[in-house]
Amino acid sequence: MTAARLAIVLASLVAPALADGARAQTAPDPGNPRYQFETPVAPAQNRVYWLDRASGIVGACQYQTGGGPNGTMACFEPGEGSINQAAGDYALLRSAWVSEFGIFRVDHRSGRMALCFVRDTKVVCTPQSGGR
């Protein structure tokens, strides 16, 4: 599956999760897409995290073998710390730590950040302590 096709599939999976917890958002301009997709640097994973850049909501999907001749796409809904964020200008950043399976969510407006990762069946994000 090409990266462009994977992005389209992931975006279609994101919409139902956002309907439950997202605030109404205006459509972004084409030069500033609403969603960002990023993978951690850990070489033994195939997980892709998605981010709603305005709301800060984070989820993830990964390919799994089984479930049919082509495998299945398992997705993890946003969970604790990943939903109900203040409106912002969020982005995902990879760590340079090669064993890192999570992803950093940063808010360019406030300077706050959190580490987001899959716990059980949901994507959770750590609260930031101290600093900004």
Burial class (CB in 10 A: 0-12, 13-18, 19+), 115: middle
Q: What are the sequence ranges of the domains in the chain? A: 3-23+31-125
The predicted model scores a pTM of 0.72
CA dihedral 105, 111, 112, 113 (to 10 degrees): 30
- Give the tens place of pLDDT for each residue, 49-86: 999 999 999 999 998 887 778 888 899 999 999 998 89
| Residues in the chain where the model's pLDDT stays below 70 | 1-31, 130-132
- What is d(CA 87, CA 110) in angstroms, rounded to the nearest whole number? 10
